[in-house]
């Protein structure tokens, strides 16, 4: 029997690992989500048919776990804020609040799960503090991600099943960063940055605080300085 090429073995192993990571919240993005949800609005929330905005006290010192299906997502790190803000915009006749599967946010910890049908063309923005003791995990099953990590620190795990990711950071944004792409490309636009294609596994060191792990099953990653 012919031996499988080493790159194929690595690709299969990496894709398997990434598939497990991106299913951490059992976010099945292929089926339309049920409209039952676990969400209680509070005073100050904006709840409209196609627009949703929620803000909760959150100091960034604990764990925040976020799972999202079928959306384009933007994540903004604001070190000085003491709030977690989530905004959602959708299209069509859907009710935005129907697709908030879980929204439990305490001052130190939180769980957010948003699961949209593909036809909603959902757009989500998360604004939050990321500090030295922060533990942030984002699982995006399908969609594109724009992550501005400038000024951020702490532990950050980003898992994208299928989609592209844009990452903006500076030297103070991390101490160590591991990038794994099962099938796709890496475009490192920073001075001296190296691109990659197909199966990618790269480790970076810098002068900041905290570790970042980025796993993309199928798609691309673009890295830029501020």
149-200 residue pLDDT tens = 999 999 999 999 999 999 999 999 999 999 999 999 999 999 988 899 889 9
Q: Which structural domain, as residue segments, surrounds residue 147?
A: 6-225
Into how many domains does the chain fold?
Answer: 1
190 within domain boundaries: yes
pTM score, whole prediction? 0.88
189 within domain boundaries: yes
Answer whether residue 28 shows pLDDT above 90.
no
1 within domain boundaries: no
Region 113-125 average pLDDT: 94
Whether the Cβ atoms of residue 60 and residue 130 lie closer than 8 Å to each other = yes
- Please state, in angstroms and rounded to a whole number, the distance separating the CA atoms of residues 198 and 112: 32
DSSP assignment string, 144-163:
-EEEE-TT--SEEEEEEEEE
pLDDT digits (tens, 9 = 90+) for 52-64: 999 999 999 999 9
97 within domain boundaries: yes
């Amino acid at each position: 029997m012919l031996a499988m090429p080493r790159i194929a073995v690595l690709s299969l192993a990496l894709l398997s690992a990434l598939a497990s990571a991106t299913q951490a919240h059992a976010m099945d993005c292929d089926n339309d989500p049920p409209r039952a949800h676990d969400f209680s609005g509070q005073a100050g929330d904006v709840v409209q048919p196609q627009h949703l905005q929620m803000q909760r006290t959150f100091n960034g010192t604990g764990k925040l776990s976020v799972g999202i299906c079928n959306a384009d997502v933007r994540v903004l790190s604001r070190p000085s804020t003491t709030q977690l803000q989530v905004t959602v915009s959708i299209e069509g006749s859907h009710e935005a609040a129907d697709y908030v599967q879980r929204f439990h946010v305490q001052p130190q910890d939180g769980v957010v799960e948003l699961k949209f049908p593909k036809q909603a063309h959902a757009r989500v923005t998360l604004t939050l503090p990321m500090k030295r003791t922060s533990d942030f995990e984002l699982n995006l099953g399908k969609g594109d991600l724009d992550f501005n990590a400038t000024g951020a620190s702490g532990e950050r795990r980003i898992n994208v099943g299928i989609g592209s990711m844009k990452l903006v950071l500076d030297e103070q944004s991390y101490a160590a960063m591991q990038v794994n792409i099962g099938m796709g490309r890496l475009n490192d636009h920073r001075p001296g940055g190296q691109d990659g294609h197909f199966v990618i596994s790269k480790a970076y060191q810098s002068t900041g605080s905290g570790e970042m792990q980025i796993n993309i099953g199928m798609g691309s990653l673009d890295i830029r300085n501020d």
